[in-house]
Amino acid sequence: MSKLRLLFQKEAQAAYISHLDLLRTFQRSFARSGLELRHSQGFHPHPIISIVLPLPVGQSSDCELVDFEVTADCDGSGIAEQMNQGLPAGLHVLDCYVPQRPAGQLAQLEAEVLLDYDAGVPAEALPRLRELFARPELVTQKRTKRKDLADVDIAPLIRSIRMEEQPHQIRCLVTVQAQNPGLNPQLLERAIATHLPELTPDFVRVRRLRFLDEQGNVFR
Amino acid sequence: MDKRLERILPRVQKPARYTGGEYNAVIKDAAGVDTRIAFCFPDTYEIGMSNLGMRILYGVMNQMPGVWCQRVFAPWGDMEQEMRQASMPLFALESGEPITDFDIVAFSIGYEMAFPAVLNMLDLAGIPFHAKERTGLTPLVIAGGTAMYNPEPLADFVDLVSLGEGEEVTVELIELHRTARREGWSKERFLQAAAQLDGVYVPSLYDVTYHADGTVEAIVPREGAPAKVTKRIIHDMDKSYFPVKTIVPSTEIVQDRVTLELFRGCIRGCRFCQAGYVYRPVRNRSRDLCAQYGIEACADTGYQEMTLSSLSTSDYPQLTELCDELDAYCTEHHVNLSLPSLRADNFSMALMQRLAKGRKSGLTFAPEAGTQRLRDVINKNVTQEDLLQSCATAFAGGYNAVKLYFMLGLPTETDEDVLGIADLAARVMHTWRETASNKARGVRITVSTSWFVPKPHTAFQWEPQISKEEYRRRVKLLQEAIKTKTVTYNWHDADTSFLEAILARGDRRLGKVLETAWRKGAKLDAWEEYFSLDRWLEAFDDCGLDPHFYANRRREKDEVMPWSMISSGVTEAYLWREHEKAFAAQTTPDCRTRCNGCGANHLVGGTCDV
């Protein structure tokens, strides 16, 4: 029996696969790769598999992690190649290995947030957005698990943010707190819409780039 | 990904339905493709992807060099609205391209309630509705599927209909269309040639005239089209294509498992059942091949559930042996075997032990009618003893839930038959008390009734549907007769069944009604969220037609049925004989006991392999 971790990309069409559907997709992918997952021992046994930090539907990622247990003893070598022969478009396994660190040590998330302005980036948008995200307090409405709205101050959850202007687009490179509580980078848009409504972008794309630990080292 | 689609997807429910890219979806190099086919299912992705026929024909078409068959499903209402706002035409999942200029747009239509979705999908694709408005060879709009045994309500809209099993005729049609395009034929010339293929019905080549009372006077073929079009079948199931490498959706669908087809046709001959007649004759796939396909499909897809599918799976001659043959693989790979539904007269301990080894929840039986007399009328040939014996086996084996399906409004039904349903449920309850292995868990008995819809090509095709008031009265009668709390009673609400009864036996004048109802907003009428009977009644009114003429009228023996140019292989004389025997409450034995001479044996050269 071995505990293993997959590092994978999720992008393009696969960005729309929901968390539960992704678990099912991996279970089937493991099965067709000939990997036997270890099952829980209860009355209704279920395979032991968990996604470390679920990715919101619609976002892309270069650094997703899924932990699972297989019945065989193995160090994960060869599994990535095997799985990549048959995955849905937009899913790509980068590595499979025995995890060295528990998921709890994942503390920060580095993401690219692209703000699209179809009619061109408004004048002065870049300095004004920089000012916005430098404020000591940035109260934004967030949907809670009970589906109602709650005010959260996202400023302390943003560890760093850099922005640059591109044609019809502002590119933000943001590092946010990942867990307990974490910040969904998509909320940057909500913050803009709330505090600088005239700078609300026409469309926002989020892509996770790296997970980091508390010290800023890559977590994988 | 298309920019418009990317912007729409975050706003719609279950966006993974609209992206394609699933494992085993077929992607071809467009440079080597000369025939693009939009394979449309007039319902949502979750329903369409659960359809085995769709998966078979997708595989068959994509095996053809130069042909790229791509899937298209009806968008849910939120997606449709977004697409219309963004002026985004209906697109195919594989390439993401609009289907507007595909060579062939093929619909698989399994049920009448999907008719409005056909129109809506054509409209979303920017393809003119009416066959006569489409003057070129492309896009050719074709249709197949069980609902096409009476295609007349769609006669104005589709260019041709493929009848029966499509594995061979679809290939012939594609080749003919390819030749026609290469040689620059007119659409008329192509359709006349297509009408010469066995199993192809070209509605525009038939003139229909009516009597003053609205019944059909005559159906006259033109341009050499055959007077009778007989459905196609695959003769040898061991040589027919089975989709071992099949698409694994990345989002949950209704039948999210490997569907292993054991045989086609049904030996039983239930008189209400359209599938039982039109899929004849019975053709079995050999046991070893079934096992091989099932194992290969699980291994390739990674599915850990497999259903053994057929019209009446427990009639497969070597079912327990097949389960045993699959057992080692299933155990080793954690694959659960399931059966879609069971016949109460051959459900055995041996079979039960081979199924559902882990979870034992519920079993479903369909006695269909509450008394032996009425079960004889419909030729269900299941007795009360059979049912109670099967329930006893199940309860003793640890099951604690049974679902019982019935129909209300079957021909000759009396109040006594309705009350018989309550009585049967009470007896099942009593059986549980006597046989349950674990009474502490309690028992759930669910009785469900639907409103009987007479279907074309059945022994009851001449029969009226009972009125809504009468259906409601019988529901209430049954409701009051079911006294114990252990028995839950569900009834199917009536309006959709009424429309189904209209469309199922409609003639081509209903095309107008269909179009009018669509203009008033009908689209996904198989879904309660979207169905509105008022819309349809208004449409009938606008078109000057009476819905009750179609649903609630008794037809005379010699009436020309709107679908009488179409043959399932079962003769009309046989259907009438069965009709007469029904009213005499005489049963007909199954095909394995003896041949009853339905006519379908001629489709396989005279003798069926039952």
The answer to whether residues B105 and B142 touch, using CB atoms and an 8 Å cutoff, is yes
Kindly tell me if the per-residue pLDDT of B281 is higher than 60.
yes
pLDDT band at B351 (very low <50, low <70, confident <90, very high): confident
Tell me whether B21 touches chain A (CB under 8 Å): yes
The 8-class DSSP code of residue B488 comes to: E
Q: Are residues A128 and A64 in the same domain?
A: no
Flag if A16 and B333 touch (Cβ within 8 Å).
Answer: no
What band does B345 get if pLDDT is binned at 50, 70 and 90? confident
Please, which residues bridge with residue A5 across strands? A67, A97
A58 to B15: CB separation less than 8 angstroms, yes or no:
yes
CATH number for B23: 3.40.50.720
In-domain check, residue A128:
yes
Work out how many domains chain A is built from and give that number.
2
Same domain? For A43 and A135 the reply is: no
**Could you tell me what percent of chain B has a pLDDT over 90?**
88
Q: What is the mean pLDDT of chain A?
A: 95
Q: What is the pLDDT of residues B397-423, one digit of tens each?
A: 888 899 999 999 999 999 999 999 999
Which residues in chain A are contacts of B24 at CB distance < 8 A? 86
CATH for A156: 3.30.70.3190
User: Can you give the pLDDT at residue B199?
Assistant: 98
Q: Does a structural domain hold residue A115?
A: yes
Q: Using an 8 Å CB-CB cutoff, list chain A residues near B360.
A: none
Q: Give the per-residue pLDDT at B357.
A: 60
The gap from C-alpha B257 to its chain's centroid, in whole angstroms, comes to 18
Residue B248 at interface with chain A, using a CB cutoff of 8 Å? yes
Q: What is the pLDDT of residue B444?
A: 92
CB distance A13–B304 less than 8 Å? no
Handedness of CA B177, B181, B184, B187 (dihedral sign): positive
Q: Do A155 and A91 share a structural domain? A: no
* Residues of chain A found within 8 Å of residue B334, distances taken between Cβ atoms: 36, 39
Inform me whether the pLDDT recorded for B479 exceeds 70.
Answer: yes
Handedness of CA B449, B455, B460, B466 (dihedral sign): positive
Q: Are residues A86 and A173 in the same domain?
A: no
Whether B116 maps to a domain, the answer reads: yes
Residues A206 and A159 in one domain: yes
Chain A closest CA to B404's CA: distance in Å?
26
Q: Write out pLDDT tens, residues B570-598.
A: 999 999 999 999 999 999 999 999 999 99
A128 and A30 in a common domain? no
Q: Which of A100, A128, A159 is the last residue before a domain boundary?
A: A100
| B16/A18 Cβ within 8 A | yes
CA distance B268 to B563: 24
Segment B110-135 mean pLDDT: 97
Give the Cα separation of B33 and B36 in Å (integer).
7
Amino acid symbol at B328: A
CA distance to partner chain A, nearest, from residue B518 (Å): 31
The answer to the question of residue B117 being in a domain is yes
- Is A156 within the bounds of a domain? yes
In a domain, B121, yes or no: yes
- pLDDT for B361 equals 66
Rounded to an integer, what is the distance from CA A130 to the centroid of its chain? Answer: 23
CATH of the domain at A38: 3.30.70.580
Does residue A29 belong to any structural domain of this protein?
yes
B:274-333 residues touching chain A, CB 8 A cutoff: 298-304, 333
Considering Cα of A66, then A67, then A70, then A74, what sign does the dihedral take? positive
With respect to residue B56, please indicate whether it lies within any of the assigned structural domains. yes
**Which residues of A make CB contacts under 8 Å with B?**
12-14, 16-18, 20-22, 24-25, 27-33, 36, 39, 44-45, 57-58, 86-90, 203
Q: Which of B24, B25, B250 has the CB atom closest to A25's CB atom? A: B250
Contact between B332 and A58 under an 8 Å Cβ cutoff? The reply is: no
Q: Inter-chain contact B9–A17, Cβ cutoff 8 Å? A: no
pLDDT tens for each residue of B353-383: 777 665 566 788 999 999 999 999 999 999 9
Are B16 and A17 in contact (CB < 8 Å)? yes
Could you list the residue range(s) of the whole structural domain that residue A59 is in? 2-100
| B105 membership: H or E segment, kind and range | strand B104-108
Of A78, A100, A122, the one marking the end of a domain is A100
Q: Are residues A119 and A78 in the same domain?
A: no
- Going B281 to B287 to B289 to B295, the CA torsion angle's sign is positive
ipTM score assigned to the predicted complex: 0.93
Q: Of the residues A71, A100, A129, which one is the last residue of a structural domain?
A: A100
Q: Total domain count for chain B?
A: 1
In a domain, residue A155? The reply is: yes
Out of B7, B252, B298, whose CB is closest to A24? Answer: B252
In B, minimum Cα distance to A27 occurs at: B302
Task: Tell me whether B11 touches chain A (CB under 8 Å).
Answer: no
Task: Tell me if A160 sits within 8 A of A209, measured CB to CB.
Answer: no
CB contact under 8 A, A58 and B23: no
DSSP chain A: -EEEEEEEEE-GGGGG--HHHHHHHHHHHHHHTTPPBPB--SSS--B-EEESSPPPTT-EEEEEEEEEEESS----TTHHHHHHTT--TTEEEEEEE--SS-GGG--EEEEEEEEE-TT-PPTTHHHHHHHHHHSS--EEEEE-TTSSEEEEE-GGGEEEEEEEEETTEEEEEEEEE-SSS---TTHHHHHHHHH-GGG--SEEEEEEEEEE-TTS-B--
Q: A158 and A67, same structural domain?
A: no
CA distance B440 to chain A (A): 18
- Report chain A residues whose CB lies below 8 A from the CB of B248: 25, 28, 88
H helix or E strand, kind and range, residue B67? strand B67-73
Rounded Cα gap, residues A185 and B360, in angstroms: 45
Within a domain: B15? yes
Does A218 reside within a domain? Answer: no
pLDDT at residue A159 tops 90: yes
- Whether residue A217 is contained in a domain is answered as no
Same domain, residue pair A60 and A112: no
**CB atoms B302 and A89 under 8 Å:** no
pLDDT in the model for residue B358: 53
What's the pTM? 0.95
Mean pLDDT, chain B, integer: 95
pLDDT tens for each residue of B212-246: 999 999 999 999 999 999 999 999 999 999 999 99
Domain identity same for A65 and A95: yes
Are residue A114 and residue A185 in the same domain, yes or no? yes
**A204 part of a folded domain:** yes
Give the pLDDT confidence of B433-453 residue by residue, as tens digits: 999 887 888 899 999 999 999
CA of B296, closest CA in chain A: separation in Å? 10
Q: What is the pLDDT of residue B363?
A: 83
pLDDT of residue B359: 59
A166 Cβ contact list (under 8 Å, min separation 6): none
Burial, A124: exposed, middle or buried (Cβ in 10 Å; 0-12, 13-18, 19+)?
Answer: exposed
In a domain, B49, yes or no: yes
Q: How far apart are CA B193 and CA B171, in angstroms?
A: 15
Domain-located, residue B68: yes
pLDDT range class, residue B141, cuts 50, 70, 90? very high
Residue A84's pLDDT band, with cuts at 50, 70 and 90, is: very high
B9-46 pLDDT per residue, tens: 999 999 999 999 999 999 999 999 999 999 999 999 99
Range of the domain at B178: 3-230
Residues of A in contact with B251 (CB under 8 A): 17-18, 21
